[in-house]
Amino acid sequence: MKVIIGGCGRVGALLATKLAFERHDVAIIDKDPRTFGRLGKSFDGMTLRGMVFDRDVLAKAGIERADAFVAVTSGDNSNVVSATVAREIYRVPKVIARIFDPRRAEIYRRLGIQTVSSVTWAANEITSLILFPHLVRDLSLGDGEVQMVKVSVPPRLAGRTIADLSAPGEVLPFAIVRAGKSYIPASHEALAEGDIIEAAVLTSAMDRFQAMTNP
């Protein structure tokens, strides 16, 4: 996969290093060449000095054959301008922009630009830690809209079924760990005390799942 990354800050450098290690074709752009020092000696991708929305720089990076463009500079305006250029002018199939103001996310999505907001993600993570201490979070997806969680079945839920813990479009239990072995349960599967349930839960439904599984 050909990936162009705009911005060689901590996020951009980490992403570029990871993708290059996995043998993808990576080009990274930054206006400050000193930032390329973050990439390390093992990085074998392309580095270009310049503005991330400069069409000459983008052409040198190979934007016309890019599979993905990721804008992760320190400024919302630079990110959305470069992402819009990649999307509208070069028709890059996958365009992602980092934003610091989550209020702008819906506007960018209407332009076909997927956004990642560290502000939203951090807020959701901290909220979950405070409000849902008995739920073990394995992973957050997107900007934290979906949580992958584990919970131990309390005595009061023994004998209930997977369907009792499900809520279409909000809560999806997808695995049970019982006696050290995991499997995908049917909806009528009866729960046993001490089972570990793994579920995908909308962040907006965490209150509901908390109430369902509270000891």
Domains in the chain (CATH in brackets) are 2-116 (3.40.50.720), 132-213 (3.30.70.1450)
| Mean pLDDT in residue range 17-35 | 92
Helices and strands counted in the chain (H then E): 7, 11
Token duo for residue 95: 């365009």
Using alpha carbons only, give the angle 38, 42, 48 rounded to the nearest 5 degrees: 55
User: Which tens digits make up the pLDDT trace of 104-121?
Assistant: 777 887 888 887 776 566
Selected residue with higher pLDDT from 203 and 82:
82
Report yes or no on whether pTM surpasses 0.75: no
Pairing of strands 25-30, 46-49: parallel
